[in-house]
Chain A
Amino acid sequence: MRRVVVTGIGAVTPLGGDISSSWKNLIEGKSGATLISKFDIEDFQAKVACEVPIDQENHKINDRFNPNDWFSDKDLRKIDNFIIFGVAAAEMAILDSGINNCSLNKNNIGVGVGSGVGGLPSIEKASLTLKEKGPKRVSPFFIPGALINLVAGHISIRNELKGPNLASVTACSSGTHSIIEGAETIKRNKADVMIVGGAESAICPVGIAGFAACKALSTNFNDSPEKASRPYDNLRDGFVMGEGAGFIVLEELNHALERGAKIYSEFKGYGVSGDAHHITSPAEDGDGAYRSIIMAIKDSNLAVDEFSYINAHGTSTPKGDEIELRAVEKAFSPNIESITMSSTKSSIGHLLGAAGAVEAIFSILAIKNNVIPATINLDDLSIDTKINLVPHNSINKNVEVVLSNSFGFGGTNASVVFSSYKENNGS
């Protein structure tokens, strides 16, 4: 049976222009939330978001992102923001893995991307152009610049990767599903390496208005943006939209060992399920979440007491946080008191289709660095539980196995398990 390991990581998040600054700021308990700066928010009820910090003057500075480090001005005009983030994160992961330094058969290296709404800002812009100037003024680059799978398209074009070329579109579970598809593709011998992840940049007028209209976003903390994302806290009132991208290099184990790749961790297994309940709300009984978690635990061939940390979906919604928590308690009982679970959305907000991928990277780094990120803003826990939700400060602890959950609109659930890589892991 083919084993799958992680040999490279890359990300662009509201906490930094690359993964090392993002992780550093995460562990220091920083918040990426601010008042929205991309457009005039006067008429908007939801005024807070987690934006990627941009610097177009300086190059290769870690804590800010410069699109020109990855694309020329001419090419930037032709692609939506989420594609820029996705390609940059993937390029950083590819660089980290060293696969471009080896002579590998690129027919066996594929790409997969997850995104929830993809090129929404481009769709908004093209619609306005259509209305104001007519159909003949819509740019020929609008469609290819907005399509979700073009993230994978660009990555494959730039690196001549001719393996499977895929996309997962499952709202807030997209990033996790993309990793699952990548792992399965390798396990089924359709590729030896899969560059997979998620990308999202939907902080635009129609995106914020749309999510606010279905009552998903926080509106009570416009005066103190950094406090708005507060999973499990008594005052939580909805999620804070984030943007960014995360990509990992998944590789068949022997392929990685033969080329002397550095191995971050092993992808141990996954669970998937559907709620069959409501278009936006999770099922109250948490059954879909529970089944996804149980399936992942079983697939990983590990016992519940071997799990060191759970990176929660934990979006900071009044109902969703508790539903997931109860599902976790049920899946891990009776070991509830030994569970450590946090929501990193407290720091970076909800990256929608990119969330599952960035959170998988945080899970992998928790294993590599033996540090568990905190749930910040958890001032007043309103849920009666014995789970350690890591309020305020990150914890130094030996981390061997991590479960990461993602649950999306429409009741689509996904859970993945990463562990430290052990040669004789046999399973």
Chain B
Amino acid sequence: MSDTLEKVQAIVVEHLGVENDKVTEPASFIEDLGADSLDTVELVMAFEEEFGIEIPDDAAESIQTVGDAVNFINSNKSS
């Protein structure tokens, strides 16, 4: 499970250019990590690519924080 968080952190660091220790579960992509609306679309695409899952638009909209992403991925990824 923490493997998911690590992979999510790596993607966020690469795309948003933030320090790894800022990418905590409660951190909001937009409010805390400096993402804009296009950044969040790209992050969702990167998560889909990394974990081999589909994240439909309505689900993507409810992924506001790092923790939301980790939870969604863990519930949906093929193990």
Contact = CB atoms under 8 A, between A and B. Distances in A.
Contact of B42 (A72, A73, A75, A140): A140
A137 interface: yes
Nearest to B48: A136
Interface string A116-155: 0000000000000000000011011100100000000000
Central interface residue in A73, A140, A141, A144, by most chain B CB within 10 Å: A140
Nearest to B13: A74
Contacts of B45: 136-137, 139-140
B76 to A, nearest CB: 16
A141 B42 contact: yes
Contacts of B48: 136
B58 to A, nearest CB: 15
Contact of A73 (B17, B41, B49): B17
B38 interface: yes
A140 B49 CA distance: 15
A207 B45 CA distance: 28
A75 B39 CA distance: 11
A110 B59 CA distance: 42
Contacts of B16: 74
Nearest to A72: B17
B77 interface: no
A411 to B, nearest CB: 39
Contacts of A139: 42, 45
Interface string B16-51: 110000000000000000000010011001001100
Interface in A70-85: 72-75, 77
Interface residues of A, number: 11
Given A136-B45, A137-B49, A139-B45, A74 B38 contact: no
B7 interface: no
B42 A74 contact: no
A421 to B, nearest CB: 44
A75 B48 CA distance: 22
A75 B15 CA distance: 9
Contacts of B41: 140
Contacts of A140: 38, 41-42, 45
A78 B45 CA distance: 15
A74 B17 contact: yes
A74 B49 contact: no
Contacts of B38: 140-141, 144
A73 B15 CA distance: 9
Nearest to B42: A140
Interface string A286-328: 0000000000000000000000000000000000000000000
Contacts of A74: 15-17
Interface in A57-78: 72-75, 77
Nearest to B49: A137
B48 to A, nearest CB: 8
Contacts of A141: 38, 42
Contacts of B17: 72-75
Nearest to A139: B42
Nearest to A76: B17
A72 B41 CA distance: 20
Nearest to A137: B45
B63 to A, nearest CB: 15
Nearest to A74: B17
Contacts of B15: 74, 77
B52 to A, nearest CB: 12
Nearest to B16: A74
Given A73-B17, A74-B16, 11 more contacts: A72-B17, A74-B15, A77-B15, A136-B48, A139-B45, A140-B41, A140-B42, A140-B45, A141-B38, A141-B42, A144-B38
17 contacts: A72-B17, A73-B17, A74-B15, A74-B16, A74-B17, A77-B15, A136-B45, A136-B48, A137-B49, A139-B42, A139-B45, A140-B38, A140-B42, A140-B45, A141-B38, A141-B42, A144-B38
